[in-house]
């Protein structure tokens, strides 16, 4: 899957290893980058990666920085 391809709710739930209802809840509350096409929620992989990187704790962020 390329970064610009859209993921479904199920695909995102599988990718994040969370329940589908959690993804729906995050989407409705605007907690995850999402778009609604008709009645279906869709997620761009690159935006999800950015969102995940922004949620890292400072200790993890510092560990990823080259010394």
Q: What is the pTM of this model?
A: 0.77
CB 47 within 8 A of CB 33: yes
Which pLDDT belongs to residue 60?
A: 56
In a domain, 65, yes or no: no
Number of separate helices (H) and strands (E) present in the chain: 4, 3
* Domain encompassing residue 14: 6-55
Instruction: Please state the φ and ψ torsions of residue 37, each to the nearest 5 degrees.
Output: -115, 105
| 32 assigned to some structural domain | yes
Q: How far is CA 63 from CA 2, 48, 49, 52, 53, in A?
A: 27, 21, 18, 16, 13
Q: What is the pLDDT of residues 35-46, one digit of tens each?
A: 999 999 999 999
Sign of the CA dihedral running 14, 15, 19, 22 = negative
Give pLDDT tens digits for 15-26.
999 999 999 999
Instruction: State how many domains the chain has.
Output: 1
**Domain containing 33 — which CATH number?**
1.10.10
Domain-located, residue 30: yes
């Amino acid at each position: 899957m390329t970064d610009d391809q859209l993921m479904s709710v199920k695909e995102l739930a599988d990718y994040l290893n969370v329940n589908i209802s959690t993804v729906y809840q995050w989407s409705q509350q605007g907690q995850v980058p999402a778009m609604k096409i008709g009645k279906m929620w869709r997620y761009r992989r690159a935006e999800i990666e950015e969102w995940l990187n922004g949620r890292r704790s400072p200790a993890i962020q510092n560990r990823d920085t080259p010394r």
